[in-house]
Amino acid sequence: MLFEESDRLKSIPPYLFAEIDTTIRKKKEEGFDIISLGIGDPDINTPDAIVKELCKEAWNKENHRYPSSYGHKVLKSAAAQFYKKRFGIDIDPENEVLPLWGSKEGIANIAYVYINPGDLVLVPDPSYPVYKIGTMFAGGSTYTMPLTEENNFLIDFSKIDGDAARKAKLMHVNYPGNPTSASCDIDFFDKLVDFASEYEILVCHDNAYGDIYAEEKYKPVSFLNAKNSKDIGIEFYSLSKSFNMTGWRISFAVGNSAVLNSLGKYKSNVDSGVFNAVQYAAAAALNDYEEFINSNNKIYNRRRQKVWELLDKLGLKYYKSFNTIYIWTKVPEGYNSASFAKLLLDKTNVVVTPGSAYGKYGEGYFRISLTIDDSRLEEALDRMKNVF
Ligand SMILES: *Cc1c(COP(=O)(O)O)cnc(C)c1O
């Protein structure tokens, strides 16, 4: 019996890079040593202290029961204290924090909370694919906000069509951003609040990379640092990248209490909350965040520097950002994103992500990820140096 997929599932755009994937698989089978700079998933272990906390709490029988869909107070308090210490923001731990099974879950589910069929959502391009796909699943449509290098990959509010702004119910924003690595300052977030307030649009800011920065002066601000931001939006803070916890599925949303309450209500009907032991471990991570973040950032700084040096040598242009785990690089003249990624793979067995995977405005770029150990990264860079 072949069951027909729902229209919703069938509406996912066809995967653009099937050809590259086939080549990777074939090369692997033939025994080629493939190095992937394509994956945004930290290679560094989750810190021991966090794992230990999980083990300890896994033995606690109280944690073996259903957790609350609205989160455990240990993580809610730790998140509030973390936002105070890290960003200087007051958060009510009871009503203004909602633990999630990762930000991806929250971003996908927020669409079901607010979007009716036909509703409009403003989405940056290039961007994390879940903003668009989550909207589509809920029956909404998206309006593209192009991110261009001329504007430092910031959203240009003056270019958003007035009718679209009036119609839009929700808007996704992500700084420091994937895939562009661009960051923004508090002025940008203030403008965002003004724009969203004028048009009554719910802002969902994705703060997945807020603690990956090269030095103090590049330390990102939070969307909630903007005045009146809590009236108009929420922020997703993920532990995945900053604490090397992608596999744990843990993040939280902070901000507008009514929005978080509605998201919690939705979640209570489709899931039953995050394993409490994982919430204890996440609380341990947040309580000692400085130690963990500093150690990661040293590693990424070293790798970022190595990649920059090579790209400079090869004469490849890139966006010089001191944030995130990515380097957003321009493909050389005569290629597009896909053809250059294919060339790299053919000639060097190195995988990068074509920029067009993140939207039309990602065309002409490719993304290098720093989540690979130093020796493999050096090997990849050597291969590129020898070929180009
Ligand atoms: C990696 C990533 C996430 C993933 O968050 P999880 O908490 O692991 O679900 C969210 N947003 C962006 C932009 C990312 O790159």
Question: Can you give the pLDDT at residue 120?
Answer: 98
Residue listed under structure tokens 């998206």: 142
Q: Report the percentage of the chain scoring pLDDT > 90.
A: 93
Tokens for 144, please give them: 């593209």
Reported as a single tens digit per residue, the pLDDT across 285-331 is 999 999 999 999 999 999 999 999 999 999 999 999 999 999 999 99
Q: Ligand 1, residues 104, 234, 326: which to mutate, most atoms within 8 A of Cβ?
A: 104
CA distance 63 to 83: 25
Query: Distance from the CA of 236 to the center of ligand 1, in angstroms?
Result: 9
The residue ranges of every structural domain in the chain are 7-45+291-387, 48-289
Question: Can you give the pLDDT at residue 19?
Answer: 78
Query: Distance from the CA of 363 to the center of ligand 1, in angstroms?
Result: 21
| Residue 58 contacts residue 279 (beta carbons within 8 Å) | no
Q: Is 212 in the pocket of ligand 1 (CB under 6 A)?
A: no
Q: Is 103 in the pocket of ligand 1 (CB under 6 A)?
A: yes
Question: Can you give the pLDDT at residue 13?
Answer: 80
Question: Can you give the pLDDT at residue 335?
Answer: 96
Query: Distance from the CA of 386 to the center of ligand 1, in angstroms?
Result: 34
Mean pLDDT of 141-151: 98
Task: Identify the residue whose C-alpha is closest to ligand 1 atom 2.
Answer: 208
Question: Can you give the pLDDT at residue 22?
Answer: 86
How confident is residue 359, by pLDDT bands cut at 50, 70 and 90?
very high
Residue 387 has pLDDT above 90, yes or no: no
How confident is residue 360, by pLDDT bands cut at 50, 70 and 90?
very high
Q: What is the DSSP letter of 214?
A: S
CA distance 188 to 247: 32
CA distance 155 to 129: 17
Q: Is 106 in the pocket of ligand 1 (CB under 6 A)?
A: no
Q: Is 246 in the pocket of ligand 1 (CB under 6 A)?
A: yes
Q: Is 207 in the pocket of ligand 1 (CB under 6 A)?
A: no
CA distance 316 to 326: 15
Q: Is 255 in the pocket of ligand 1 (CB under 6 A)?
A: no
Reported as a single tens digit per residue, the pLDDT across 1-45 is 899 999 999 988 877 777 788 888 999 999 999 999 998 999 999
- Per CATH, the homologous superfamily of domain 7-45+291-387 is Aspartate Aminotransferase, domain 1 (3.90.1150.10)
Reported as a single tens digit per residue, the pLDDT across 108-133 is 999 999 999 999 999 999 999 999 99
Mean pLDDT of 187-211: 98
Q: Is 206 in the pocket of ligand 1 (CB under 6 A)?
A: yes
Q: Is 279 in the pocket of ligand 1 (CB under 6 A)?
A: no
Q: Ligand 1, residues 100, 123, 128, 328: which to mutate, most atoms within 8 A of Cβ?
A: 128
Q: Is 178 in the pocket of ligand 1 (CB under 6 A)?
A: yes
Mean pLDDT of the chain: 96
Question: Can you give the pLDDT at residue 20?
Answer: 81
pTM of the full structure: 0.97
Q: If you compute the radius of gyration of the chain from its CA atoms, what whole number of angstroms results?
A: 21
| Residue 70 contacts residue 262 (beta carbons within 8 Å) | no
Domain 48-289, architecture per CATH: 3-Layer(aba) Sandwich (3.40)
Q: What is the DSSP letter of 241?
A: T
How confident is residue 250, by pLDDT bands cut at 50, 70 and 90?
very high
Residue 272: how many CB atoms within 10 A of its CB?
13
CA distance 257 to 266: 14
Output the CA torsion sign for 70, 74, 75, 77: positive
For the chain, first and last CA: distance in Å?
51
Task: Locate the ligand 1 atom nearest the alpha carbon of residue 100 and give its number.
Answer: 7
Q: Ligand 1, residues 175, 241, 353: which to mutate, most atoms within 8 A of Cβ?
A: 241
Question: Can you give the pLDDT at residue 332?
Answer: 95
Reported as a single tens digit per residue, the pLDDT across 209-238 is 999 999 999 999 999 999 999 999 999 999
Residue 188 has pLDDT above 90, yes or no: yes
| Residue 107 contacts residue 172 (beta carbons within 8 Å) | yes
Sheet holding 141-146, edge to edge: 97-100, 251-255, 233-238, 202-207, 168-173, 120-125, 141-146
Q: Is 128 in the pocket of ligand 1 (CB under 6 A)?
A: yes
Task: Identify the residue whose C-alpha is closest to ligand 1 atom 11.
Answer: 208
Residue 378 has pLDDT above 80, yes or no: yes
Task: Identify the residue whose C-alpha is closest to ligand 1 atom 15.
Answer: 178
Q: Is 109 in the pocket of ligand 1 (CB under 6 A)?
A: no
**Which of 3-12, 43-52, 175-184, 190-199 is least confident?**
3-12
Q: Is 40 in the pocket of ligand 1 (CB under 6 A)?
A: yes
Residue 231: how many CB atoms within 10 A of its CB?
12
| Residue 343 contacts residue 269 (beta carbons within 8 Å) | no
Q: Ligand 1, residues 178, 235, 236: which to mutate, most atoms within 8 A of Cβ?
A: 178
Query: Distance from the CA of 103 to the center of ligand 1, in angstroms?
Result: 6
Residue 149 has pLDDT above 80, yes or no: yes
CA distance 10 to 12: 5
Task: Locate the ligand 1 atom nearest the alpha carbon of residue 239 and give its number.
Answer: 7
